[in-house]
């Protein structure tokens, strides 16, 4: 089933890319394209193409985010990320390519948003749903841009042919993201068009995350509560560590926990998830085609890892020992592994899952109300119980946290942050969390003994932007330190 969905997806992507690469896309779009559901959906699918590749969400974005965390270290060309002094030329080039991919996806979305209203064989309901999907995706990629670069140029369906656009402020970008997500929330269907495309609850989930980054915790709490109250999701049950493969494994088409995932498959060619190749050591069996072991940790020298309760099944599932000249306590991460592939990984990338929403909600209650309540603690305990192989919905005194022990706001938030570190290990979510909470520098200093320079908190505006966009001054409009 997963394979057939990806075959359909790749065929549609090929059709859409062909159209996008024509020399005169405007005339083609007006006369021949975006008139039927199949044509618009091909255009929608093109939004996902630039982001799925290995240079962005297929591998390198996750690598970059994870090496920044307190529990991982980078090797090879990723080793300079361990210094927290900013990016060297190799990594500046990598993030520049990510900038380009995000904007290519945004442009593809802008074309759908611009052309769909004039579709000749589309109902008004279809038009609204298609535009909502495109606006959801546009907002999502602006969210990735603004968190990593702060203010960026806002390219819309009205100015996408303009090269020279100013660098908008961070506040302006967030305001634009909210407009798109609110439209998507109102107009997306309850059931997604395809696996890996958004529905109404996905929009509410991303809104939650965006509102948290704006420190609007009361609004974020309420939005997360709406997702939970829908009763459309539940935590995948786990009794032994390997059961987490029911959530992250390469053969899983979907699960009760999936809210919005980027979908991958071993076949057809070019549709696989490259991230497992970067995670694993050759010959371990976790990724038979081989691996780069780009990042690693240490079970004794890293306090985050050392202090992780070894009865937590997530620890057993996530880590395995592997020596390659860095000492006997070196460990690698196996959250995303594909033991039977001969080509590429079949795992999906879990951008948003139900455990995220439960932990979002728990934190937001404490942030907004000044203290946790029993419901917030229950949502946290649901995730914690599952980590120990317990029924997430049944109270268990052997593993449950007690509200009386964490009744203060900061004590509870610290607990949620720790739990989310264990839960989201190697999912590229930890570093954005630490930055949002304003604790990135102190956490890295405490665990790694490194001083994080201010310039390391943002990526530089790439030369590929300011070499052509004359509205951006390469000195005045550059991020500090670059």
**Which of 80, 88, 148, 82 is CA-nearest to residue 451?**
82
Q: Which residues contact 294 (CB under 8 A, 6 or more apart)?
A: 63, 67, 74, 75, 76, 78, 278, 279
The alpha-carbon radius of gyration of the chain (Å, integer) is 22
Asked whether 148 and 459 are in contact (CB, 8 A), the reply is: yes
Q: How far apart are CA 340 and CA 329, in angstroms?
A: 27
Strand order in the sheet with 295-298: 73-74, 295-298, 330-333, 319-321
Q: How far apart are the first and last CA of the chain?
A: 47
DSSP H helical segments within 235-373, as ranges?
A: 245-248, 275-279, 303-306, 313-318, 354-369
Q: What is each CA distance from 201 to 166, 204, 210, 270, 347, in whole angstroms?
A: 33, 5, 14, 29, 22
Residue 242 DSSP symbol: G
Q: How far apart are CA 210 and CA 206, in angstroms?
A: 6
Beta strands at 349-353 and 319-321: parallel, antiparallel or unpaired:
unpaired
- One DSSP character per residue, 61-123 reads HHHHHHHHSTT-EE-GGGGGGGG-S---HHHHHHHHHHHHHHHHHHHHHHHHHHHGGG-TT--
- pLDDT tens-place values along the chain, 482 residues long: 364 345 444 444 443 333 332 333 343 444 468 999 999 999 999 999 999 999 999 999 999 999 999 999 999 999 999 999 999 999 999 999 999 999 999 999 999 999 999 999 999 999 999 999 999 999 999 999 999 999 999 999 999 999 999 999 999 999 999 999 999 999 999 999 999 999 999 999 999 999 999 999 999 999 999 999 999 999 999 999 999 999 999 999 999 999 999 999 998 888 999 999 999 999 999 999 999 999 999 999 999 999 999 999 999 999 999 999 999 999 999 999 999 999 999 999 999 999 999 999 999 999 999 999 999 999 999 999 999 999 999 999 999 999 999 999 999 999 999 999 999 999 999 999 999 999 999 999 999 999 999 999 999 999 999 999 999 999 999 999 99
**Which of 281, 236, 194, 233 is CA-nearest to residue 13?**
194
Asked whether 400 and 386 are in contact (CB, 8 A), the reply is: no
Domain range 199-263+354-437, CATH class = mainly alpha
Q: How far apart are CA 17 and CA 46, in angstroms?
A: 6
> 21: how many CB neighbours lie within 10 A of its CB?
8
Q: How many helices (H) and strands (E) does the chain have?
A: 19, 6
Question: Is 3.90.550.60 the CATH number for 1-188+454-477?
Answer: no
Comparing 1-188+454-477 with 199-263+354-437, is the CATH topology the same?
A: yes
**Chain centroid offset of residue 286 CA:** 23
- One DSSP character per residue, 393-460 reads TS--TTT---GGGG-SHHHHHHHHHHHHHHHTTTTT-HHHHHHHTT-HHHHHHHHH--PPPGGGGSPP
pLDDT score of 2: 61
Q: How far apart are CA 216 and CA 214, in angstroms?
A: 5
Q: Across-strand partners of 320? A: 332
HEC string of 222-246?
HHHHHHHHCCCCCCCCCCCHHHHHH
Handedness of CA 271, 355, 70, 337 (dihedral sign): negative
**Which of 153, 178, 179, 187 is CA-nearest to residue 167?**
153
The number of residues in the chain equals 482
Q: What angle do CA 315, 310, 237 make, to 5 degrees?
A: 55
**Which of 177, 229, 190 is CA-nearest to residue 361?**
229
**Chain centroid offset of residue 90 CA:** 23
Map out the domains of the chain as residue ranges: 1-188+454-477, 199-263+354-437, 275-333
> 407: how many CB neighbours lie within 10 A of its CB?
14
Q: How far apart are CA 408 and CA 464, in angstroms?
A: 48
pLDDT score of 8: 42
Residue 296 DSSP symbol: E
Q: What angle do CA 257, 262, 268 make, to 5 degrees?
A: 120
**What is the pTM (predicted TM-score) of this model?**
0.94
pLDDT score of 6: 52
Largest CA distance in the chain: 66
| Neighbour-count burial for 174-205, b at 16+ CB within 10 Å, e otherwise | bebbbebbebbbebbeeebbebbbbbbbbbbb
Asked whether 341 and 249 are in contact (CB, 8 A), the reply is: no
């Amino acid at each position: 089933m997963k394979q057939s969905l990806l075959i359909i997806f790749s065929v549609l992507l090929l059709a859409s890319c062909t159209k996008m690469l024509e020399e005169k896309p405007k005339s083609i779009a007006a006369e021949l394209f975006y008139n039927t559901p199949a044509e618009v959906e091909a255009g929608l699918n093109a939004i996902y193409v630039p982001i799925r590749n290995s240079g962005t969400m297929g591998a390198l974005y996750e690598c970059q985010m994870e090496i920044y965390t307190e529990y991982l270290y980078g090797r090879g060309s990723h080793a300079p990320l361990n210094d927290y002094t900013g990016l060297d030329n190799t990594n500046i080039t990598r993030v520049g390519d990510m900038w380009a991919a995000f904007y290519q996806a945004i442009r593809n979305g802008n074309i759908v948003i611009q052309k769909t209203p004039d579709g000749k064989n589309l109902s008004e309901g279809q038009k609204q749903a298609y535009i909502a999907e495109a606006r959801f995706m546009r907002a999502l990629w602006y969210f990735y841009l603004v968190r990593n670069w702060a203010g960026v140029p806002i390219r819309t369906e009205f100015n996408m042919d303009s090269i020279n656009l100013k660098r908008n402020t961070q506040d302006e970008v967030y305001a634009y993201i909210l407009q798109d997500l609110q439209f998507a929330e109102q107009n997306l269907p309850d059931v997604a068009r395809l696996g890996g495309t958004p529905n109404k609850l996905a929009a509410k989930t991303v809104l939650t995350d965006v509102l948290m980054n704006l420190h609007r915790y009361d609004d974020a709490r309420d939005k997360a509560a709406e997702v939970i109250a829908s009763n459309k999701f539940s935590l995948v049950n786990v009794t032994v560590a390997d059961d987490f493969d029911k959530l992250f494994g390469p053969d899983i088409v979907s699960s009760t926990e999936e809210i919005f995932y980027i979908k991958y498959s071993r076949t057809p060619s070019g549709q696989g998830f490259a991230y497992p190749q970067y995670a694993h050591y050759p010959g371990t069996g976790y990724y038979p085609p081989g691996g780069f072991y780009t990042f690693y940790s240490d079970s004794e020298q890293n306090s985050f890892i050392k202090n992780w309760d070894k009865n937590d099944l997530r620890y057993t599932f996530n880590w395995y020992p592997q020596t390659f000249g860095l000492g006997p306590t070196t460990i690698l991460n196996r959250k995303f592994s594909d033991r039977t592939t001969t080509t590429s990984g079949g795992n999906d990338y879990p951008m948003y899952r139900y455990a995220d929403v439960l932990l979002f909600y728990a934190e937001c209650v404490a942030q907004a109300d000044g203290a946790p309540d029993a419901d917030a603690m229950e949502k946290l305990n649901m995730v914690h119980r599952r980590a120990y192989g317990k029924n997430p919905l049944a109270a268990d005194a052997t593993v449950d946290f007690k509200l009386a022990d964490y009744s203060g706001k900061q004590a509870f938030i610290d607990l949620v942050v720790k739990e989310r570190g264990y839960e989201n290990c190697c999912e590229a979510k930890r570093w954005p969390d630490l930055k949002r909470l304003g604790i990135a520098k102190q956490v890295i200093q405490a665990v790694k003994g490194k001083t994080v320079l201010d310039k390391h908190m943002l990526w530089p505006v790439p030369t590929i932007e300011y070499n052509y966009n004359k509205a951006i001054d390469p000195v005045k409009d550059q991020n500090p330190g670059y």
